[in-house]
Amino acid sequence: MKISNDIRIHIVEDDPVQAQVLQDKLLEFNSEYNLRCFKSGEELFSYFKNGYEKNKYNYIILDYFLQTSENTEALNGMEIIAQLENNLPKVKIILYSAYENDDDTKFDEIKKKSNVIDFVKKSIHSYSRLQNIIRFDFSHESLIRKRRRFQFAMLGFVVTLALATLYFFSTSFFY
């Protein structure tokens, strides 16, 4: 199953070196990924406001701590997640942070958001974990779509069978 044409990955990372390394590592796994990098949530929202491919799977790898000395007013990860949950609930978010403890109560609260699919701590192993999370979620969503199409096709078959049966019985009574 070729998934790269259907996936759009948006990296929100204020550290340009970290963003480039993350982009390079993800492209090592799959050179056909469609990746975009944003320095802030504001840049991301501007991109989404100008339109994006809604029929594609959109994943955001979001650094939680985006407020830097250059941009102290930047939205933090929690604010971005809340806005995405309200405005773009189908966009999936993977929280990506150097924060030492993902069991902190704030992170537990964040993980309960409907559009957050996982938390990944920045490390040497995080790149393959990000890749696996995206592939698993995409596969899961693809199966859900296939099941819906199958159910719709089955419903069409049953309705057609019922109509054919009614037609058969109605014509047999007149002969």
Identify whether the C-beta of residue 115 lies closer than 8 Å to the C-beta of residue 83.
Answer: no
Domain ranges of the chain: 7-146
Alpha carbon of residue 48 to chain centroid: 14
Distance CA 26, CA 33 (A): 8
User: Domain 7-146 in CATH: superfamily?
Assistant: Response regulator (3.40.50.2300)
pLDDT, tens digit, 9 for 90 and up, residues 1-54: 455 577 889 999 988 888 899 999 888 888 778 899 998 888 998 888 887 677
pLDDT digits (tens, 9 = 90+) for 117-156: 888 888 888 888 998 999 899 888 889 889 999 999 999 9
pTM of the model: 0.78
Q: What letter does residue 89 receive in the DSSP assignment?
A: T
Q: What is the CB neighbour count within 10 angstroms for residue 81? A: 23
